Structure 1
Amino acid sequence: MTKPAARTPSPDARAYPLRTARGDFAVVDVPVSPGVEPRGTALLVPGFTGSKEDFRLMQGPLAARGYRTVAVDGRGQFESDGPADDETAYAQPELARDVLAQAEALGAGLHLLGHSLGGQISRAAVLLDHSPFVSFTLMSSGPAQISVSQQQRVKLLRDALAVLTMAEVWEVIQSMGAPEEVGGPARGIGGPDLMRRRWLGNKPAQLIATGRQLSTEPDRVAELAELPLPFHVLSGVRDDTWPLPLLDDMAVRLHARRTVIEDAEHSPNADQPLPTARAIADFWDTVPEA
Structure 2
Amino acid sequence: MVPGYSGSKEDFAPLMDPIARIGFDAIAIDLPGQYESAGPTEEAAYLPSALGLVVAELVGKLAADGNPVMLLGHSYGGLVARSAVLAGAPIVGLTLMATGPAELPQGWRRQALDIGEPAIRQHGIEAAQRLKDTLDAHNPAWVALPEPLKTFLRNRFLRSAPAALLGMAHGLRTEPDLVGALARLMQSSGAQSLVVCGEGDDAWPVSAQRDMADRLDADFAVIRGARHSPAIENPDELLDVLIPTWRTWLLYAELPVAA
User: What range is the shorter-chain TM-score in?
Assistant: 0.7 to 0.9
- What is the DSSP-based 3-state SS (H/G/I as helix, E as strand, rest coil) of the residue aligned with 1:77? coil
Residue 85 of structure 2: aligned partner: 126
Distance 1:215 1:188, change over 3 A: farther
| 1:46-65 map, 5 Å | 46-65=3-22
Richer in strand (by share): 1
Alpha-carbon contact 1:61-1:278 (below 8 Å) kept: no
- What is the DSSP-based 3-state SS (H/G/I as helix, E as strand, rest coil) of the residue aligned with 2:7? coil
Q: Does 1:106 align with 2:56?
A: no
| 1:139-154 map, 5 Å | 139-149=97-107, 150-154=109-113
Match for residue 132 of structure 2 among 165, 173, 189: 173
Residue 27 of structure 1: aligned partner: none
Q: CA deviation digits over 1:229-272, x for unaligned, max 9? A: 11100000011211111111111111111110000001001100
Alpha-carbon contact 2:120-2:127 (below 8 Å) kept: no
| 1:3-42 map, 5 Å | none
Q: 2: distance between equivalents of 1:188 and 1:117?
A: 25
Q: Does 1:191 align with 2:153?
A: no
1:173 Cα offset (Å)? 1.7
Distance 1:190 1:80, change over 3 A: farther
State the TM-score, normalized to the length of structure 2: 0.86
Q: 1: distance between equivalents of 2:20 and 2:162?
A: 34
Alpha-carbon contact 1:263-1:271 (below 8 Å) kept: yes
Distance 1:247 1:190, change over 3 A: farther
Q: 1: distance between equivalents of 2:156 and 2:42?
A: 20
Q: 1: distance between equivalents of 2:112 and 2:209?
A: 21
Tell me which amino acid in the other structure corresponds to 2:160: N
Match for residue 245 of structure 1 among 207, 211, 219: 207
Residue 138 of structure 1: aligned partner: 96
Alpha-carbon contact 1:261-1:268 (below 8 Å) kept: yes
Residue 218 of structure 1: aligned partner: 176
Residue 87 of structure 1: aligned partner: 43
Q: 1: distance between equivalents of 2:197 and 2:224?
A: 9
Q: 1: distance between equivalents of 2:216 and 2:52?
A: 20
- What is the DSSP-based 3-state SS (H/G/I as helix, E as strand, rest coil) of the residue aligned with 1:112? strand
Tell me which amino acid in the other structure corresponds to 1:277: L
- What is the DSSP-based 3-state SS (H/G/I as helix, E as strand, rest coil) of the residue aligned with 1:137? strand
- What is the DSSP-based 3-state SS (H/G/I as helix, E as strand, rest coil) of the residue aligned with 1:142? coil
Match for residue 76 of structure 2 among 117, 121, 140: 117
Unaligned 5+ segments in structure 1 are: 1-43
- What is the DSSP-based 3-state SS (H/G/I as helix, E as strand, rest coil) of the residue aligned with 1:72? coil
Match for residue 167 of structure 2 among 201, 205, 209: 209
Q: 2: distance between equivalents of 1:189 and 1:61?
A: 26
1:93 Cα offset (Å)? 2.5
1:88 Cα offset (Å)? 2.7
Q: 1: distance between equivalents of 2:84 and 2:18?
A: 27
Q: 2: distance between equivalents of 1:174 and 1:217?
A: 27
Distance 1:65 1:209, change over 3 A: same
Alpha-carbon contact 1:189-1:270 (below 8 Å) kept: no
Alpha-carbon contact 2:195-2:209 (below 8 Å) kept: yes
Residue 227 of structure 2: aligned partner: 265
Richer in helix (by share): 2
Q: 2: distance between equivalents of 1:137 and 1:178?
A: 33
Q: Does 1:235 align with 2:194?
A: no
Alpha-carbon contact 1:115-1:139 (below 8 Å) kept: yes
1:159 Cα offset (Å)? 1.9
Unaligned 5+ segments in structure 2 are: none
1:119 Cα offset (Å)? 0.4
Tell me which amino acid in the other structure corresponds to 1:111: M
Q: 1: distance between equivalents of 2:245 and 2:230?
A: 16
Instruction: Name the stretch that deviates more: 188-197 or 58-67.
Output: 188-197
